[in-house]
Structure 1
Amino acid sequence: MRVITGTARGRRLKELQGMETRPTTDKVKESLFSIIQFDIEGRRVLDLFAGTGQLGIEALSRGAAEAVFVDRRPDAVRLVQENLALCGFTDRARVKSGDALAYLKSGEKFDLIFLDPPYAADLLEQALTAIASFDICREHGIIVAESAADKVLPELPAPYRLYREYRYGKIRLSVYHRSGNEDEAT
């Protein structure tokens, strides 16, 4: 697992042991960042269910202004902190230990949100619903959700909408957009 491009290009990130955490494959990560490549620089990022922190770290490497990482596992929180230090991003990141869904109630706003919870749980649906309910995406924000290819994700209420879905073997990336106020008036 490595940082693909940007200021930390080529850095190998440490991984969690065991089967509970399933890092995004390099192929899927490359595709994901190709999809959003023009929507990263200067943005505020949330890496919910952070695991190793690789998605938020990749965004920081590509010019995101700052990132918040949330995970409930103490070993994951320590690993994200180690990976941030390894890449030199500790000054632009915060790592939160605790329940990801509870964190969404904080009211913090983000431009880009990564969701990659354990596939077996129904956490993805809950997170999407909570993000829309608490409206934590800034205008024109983007949510990228990784799931099993056969997973059916909920439709979100306006101003959120499913923009596009991409399939990579057994993995699906669902990209949601939040419109701006000019779109809501019509």
Structure 2
Amino acid sequence: MRIVSGRFKGTALTSVGKGDAGAHLRPTTDRVRESIFNLLVNGGYGDPITGARVLDLFAGTGALGLEALSRGAAFAQFVDDGTKAQRLIRDNISLLRVQSETKLYRRDARKLGPLEGAPFDLVFLDPPYGKAMGQKALSAALDGGWIAPEALIVWEENAPQPTPDGFEQYDMRKYGDTCVHILGLAEAP
């Protein structure tokens, strides 16, 4: 697992091998991560990365948020309640020396509570597949004010997901066994 592009291009991140089923770690492959960022940059969304405040929910290794930092995001906040994930994220933050550009919260992404501070422009969501945790985390982020009005949300799952209330789907792509949904907040009627 490595950073695909930007200022840390080619840097190998701390590996979990093929993943850790007990810890629910299933890292996004380099190929899928590259496809996600190509979709964000070339999908007609302007430049959603440069200067963005990034929220990485169910962060695992932190690879998605760290890739965004490498590509010009201003700040990344990682949320994961797993002990192994916390260690991996801390190791990867140290490896890239981005402590001043990051924050790590040990918290269940489905129970975020209210945000203290500015909301996030780009949200990555990579929950354990097939457990309906993504819908709950998105609802918690919306209710807690974590998502900026014009934010893009990138949600990975193993199958197409219904769009939760309060959101609209812009795109959905399938990469192997991964479905990537691009969402935004629904406009108020």
TM-score range, shorter chain: 0.7 to 0.9
| Alignment map for 1:1-186 (pairs within 5 Å) | 1-16=1-16, 18-19=20-21, 20-37=24-41, 38-106=47-115, 108=117, 109-149=119-159, 151-157=160-166, 160-178=167-185, 184=188
Structure 2 counterpart SS, 1:105? coil
Superposed CA offset, 1:44-85 (max 9, x none): 000011100000000000010001001111221121011011
Post-superposition offset of 1:104: 4.7
Measured in 2, the distance between the counterparts of 1:6 and 1:24 equals 18
TM-score (ref. length: structure 1)? 0.88
**Which runs of 5 or more structure 1 residues have no equivalent in the other structure?**
none
Amino acid at match of 1:18: D
Greater Cα shift, 40-49 or 131-140? 131-140
- Give me the CA root mean square deviation: 1.8
Give the 3 Å change call, closer, same or farther, for CA 153–139 of structure 1 in structure 2: same
Is the 8 Å Cα contact of residues 114 and 143 (structure 2) preserved in structure 1? no
In the TM superposition, residue 107 of structure 1 has moved relative to its aligned partner by 5.2
Aligned in 2, Cα 1:107/1:122: closer, same or farther, shift over 3 Å? farther
Alpha-carbon offset, residue 26 of structure 1: 1.4
Return the offset for 1:163.
0.8
Q: Name the amino acid aligned to 1:119.
A: Y
Letter in 1 for 2:99: T
**Inter-partner Cα distance in structure 2 for 1:18 and 1:178:** 32
**Counterpart contact for 1:50–1:71, Cα < 8 Å:** yes
What is the identity, as a one-letter code, of the residue corresponding to 1:129? Answer: S
Q: CA deviation at 1:167?
A: 1.0
Structure with higher helix content: 1
The one-letter amino acid of 2:132's match is D
Segments of 4+ moved more than 4 angstroms: none
Partner AA of 2:178 in structure 1:
I
Residue-by-residue CA offset, 1:21-41 (whole Å, 9 max, x unaligned): 100111111110011132101
CA 1:49–1:104 in 2, change beyond 3 Å: closer, same or farther?
farther
Q: Which runs of 5+ in 2 are unaligned?
A: 42-46
